[in-house]
Amino acid sequence: MQPDYTRRQQAHARLRWLKAAEASGNVSATCRLHGVSRKTFYKWQGRYDGTIESLVDQSRKPRSHPRQLTEKEHKLIDRVARKHKREGLYRLHNLLCTFHSFTRSVGGLYKALRRLGFYDRRKPRRRRKYKRYERPHPGANVQIDVKYLPKIRGKQEYQFTAIDEHSRIRYVDIYEDLTPQNAVRFLRDALDYYHRLGIRVLQVQTDHGTEFTFAMFPHVTVEHIFERELRKEGIARKLTPIGKPHLQGKVERSHRIDDDEFHSFRFFRNSADRKRAFKAYITHYNHQRPHGSLKWRSPVQHLTAWQDNQSVTYA
């Protein structure tokens, strides 16, 4: 089940459907605008009782089961298991079936023993640990990637994102086409933005997308225009290995934050409205939003602290 924060965001989105339909008086047009079916709209309209809680997704877990163990069976299992502590699961099941007319499965017995506290909860699988790469100064490495945005009226758009690994300051822009020309245009704008903040970009890191490189096409001998632009600017080029998305972890994580805090619960009538709202969101992200990895400072605050420290060190 989704986290409560996400479910409440979805509930507020559903409330916007209902209010928009009430204001316009046209359910079909409202459904087309928000990308939902009429069936879904009427389902939530029927559930709405004037409170936001009525529009929140509820758990689908059944409250009872026709074959669940009875209280009498639980007491029997507890008594026999305590008497035969040294017996394994299958031997205990055999004792219950042979001498106590127990008719449940081994799996049912195991779950009952877990509920009674005879087995510890299974330890979660240990995640593979990846080495985290921290850069010593701003501009040492800038990750660039592309995110596919939710469609507006069937039109696909693309979010180009650049993030400085040290300060986490991002430059983001939205384009209608995923082309090398737009990648070069985005690179120039990003470099200009970082330059105004006093960040000199020394290296750019991307994946193997065709908007960034022809490395996946060895038969192509022409230099990619994105790589040519980097060479002209004197910026080092780094390609992440195929199948290693964690090496682009900072930009990928920022895309997930965009989904959680912007794209998943905001709806727009046209691309211009989304671009305008997204620009304000990125300004808030860079200047005000605290980051746990930056000791709960915003990216700009982290950059300012580093610059102040440098000025004191070399004064």
Specify the pLDDT at position 313.
55
Greatest C-alpha distance within the chain: 86
162 lies in the same domain as 81: no
Q: How far, in Å, CA of 237 to CA of 206, rounded?
A: 8
Residues 140-168, mean pLDDT to the nearest whole number: 93
Contact by Cβ (8 Å): 145, 261: no
295 lies in the same domain as 221: yes
103 lies in the same domain as 163: no
202 lies in the same domain as 270: yes
H helices present in the chain, as ranges: 4-24, 27-34, 38-47, 71-83, 89-99, 106-115, 180-196, 225-233, 249-258, 271-287, 299-313
Backbone φ and ψ for 62, nearest 5 degrees, come out as -65, 140
Q: Is residue 124 part of a domain?
A: no
8 lies in the same domain as 75: no
| pLDDT exceeds cutoff 90 at 132 | no
Contact by Cβ (8 Å): 158, 174: yes
Q: What is the domain-level CATH number for residue 236? A: 3.30.420.10
275 lies in the same domain as 202: yes
100 lies in the same domain as 176: no
209 lies in the same domain as 269: yes
Q: What is the pLDDT of residues 239-252, one digit of tens each?
A: 998 888 888 889 99
Strand order in the sheet with 142-148: 170-175, 158-164, 142-148, 203-206, 236-239
Specify the pLDDT at position 254.
93
Parallel, antiparallel, or unpaired: how do β-strands 203-206 and 170-175 relate? unpaired
Residue 82 — pLDDT band, cuts 50, 70, 90? very high
Contact by Cβ (8 Å): 191, 160: no
Residues 90-97, mean pLDDT to the nearest whole number: 90
Question: For the chain, what is the domain count?
Answer: 3
Q: Is residue 129 part of a domain?
A: no
Determine the Cα angle at 116 with ends 111 and 121, to 5°: 65
Q: How far, in Å, CA of 34 to CA of 21, rounded?
A: 11
Q: What is the pLDDT of residues 26-71, one digit of tens each?
A: 999 999 988 889 999 999 999 899 898 899 888 887 777 778 889 9
| pLDDT exceeds cutoff 90 at 162 | yes
Q: Is residue 127 part of a domain?
A: no
Q: How far, in Å, CA of 264 to CA of 12, rounded?
A: 11
Q: Is residue 60 part of a domain?
A: no
Specify the pLDDT at position 1.
52
| pLDDT exceeds cutoff 60 at 315 | no
Q: Is residue 40 part of a domain?
A: yes
- Rg of the chain over all Cα atoms, to the nearest angstrom: 28
Specify the pLDDT at position 105.
92
Q: Is residue 136 part of a domain?
A: no
| 146 CB burial (10 A radius; 0-12, 13-18, 19+) | buried
Of the two residues 130 and 235, the one the predictor is more confident about is 235
Q: Which of 47, 7, 13 is nearest to 30 (CA)?
A: 13
Q: How far, in Å, CA of 151 to CA of 264, rounded?
A: 12
Q: Is residue 128 part of a domain?
A: no
| pLDDT exceeds cutoff 90 at 146 | yes
Residues 2-16, mean pLDDT to the nearest whole number: 82
Distance of CA 132 to CAs 240, 247, 249, 250, Å? 15, 9, 9, 10
Structural domain that includes position 23: 4-55
What is the overall mean pLDDT for the chain? 89
Q: Is residue 216 part of a domain?
A: yes
276 lies in the same domain as 208: yes
176 lies in the same domain as 45: no
18 lies in the same domain as 99: no
Q: How far, in Å, CA of 178 to CA of 192, rounded?
A: 21
205 lies in the same domain as 305: yes
Backbone φ and ψ for 155, nearest 5 degrees, come out as -100, 125
Contact by Cβ (8 Å): 143, 246: no
Residue percentage of the chain with pLDDT more than 70: 94
| pLDDT exceeds cutoff 50 at 314 | no
